[in-house]
Amino acid sequence: MGQAGQSVGARGFLSEKGEILLWSTTSGKEEGKMAQNVIVYTQTTCGPCQEEKMWLTQHNIPFEDRDIRKNEAYFQEAINLGASMTPVTWIKKENGEEVVIHGFDKEQIKKALDLS
């Protein structure tokens, strides 16, 4: 096992607890497309959260996983985005447009990330 803060591949690093955390610079669709940031607010016990993270990973869409039960600041961020449930997905496009998706909605995510 690596040390906290150690890079894991091109898109991740290890947390202090040994979890692999991911970040995003592109949508994963094609090189040359607009850079995008994807943050998913989750809980360990949330089935749809786990499904969304697996789906994003399977589609090579980098994202940052923010567990609202492990970090009070993440919990407050999710509340500020209007969360009443998880997952909450926040997407910021290169053009500055921000999209918030409540619940795991593949079609809304595809639309927000300009995926076919």
Q: Indicate which CATH number applies to the domain containing 55.
A: 3.40.30.10
> Does residue 76 lie in a domain region?
yes
CA distances from 65 to 30, 33, 39, 60 (A): 22, 22, 6, 14
Measured CA to CA, the distance from residue 69 to residue 51 in angstroms comes to 18
Question: What percentage of the chain has pLDDT greater than the value 90?
Answer: 63
CA distances from 63 to 2, 25, 41 (A): 21, 9, 10
> Does residue 61 lie in a domain region?
yes
Counting every residue written for the chain, the total comes to: 116
Of 92, 27, 47, 49, nearest in space to 11 by CA:
27
What mean pLDDT, rounded, does the chain reach?
79
Tally the domains of the chain. Answer: 1
Domain that holds residue 54: 24-87
Report phi then psi at 92, rounded to 5. Answer: -115, 120
Would you say residue 94 has pLDDT above 50? yes
**Residue bearing the bigger pLDDT, 112 or 11:** 112
Would you say residue 104 has pLDDT above 60? yes
> Does residue 9 lie in a domain region?
no
> Does residue 2 lie in a domain region?
no
Torsion of CA 62, 33, 115, 107, to 10 degrees: 60
pLDDT of residue 17: 53
Give, in degrees to the nearest 5, the angle at Cα 30 between 26 and 31: 70
Average pLDDT over residues 1-12: 41
| pTM to 2 decimal places | 0.70
Of 21, 22, 13, 26, nearest in space to 92 by CA:
26
Q: What DSSP state is assigned to residue 101?
A: E
> Does residue 78 lie in a domain region?
yes
> Does residue 97 lie in a domain region?
no
> Does residue 15 lie in a domain region?
no
For 32-70, write each residue's pLDDT tens digit: 344 579 999 999 999 999 999 999 999 999 999 999 999
> Does residue 99 lie in a domain region?
no
Two tokens, residue 61: 């869409």
Average pLDDT over residues 26-32: 39
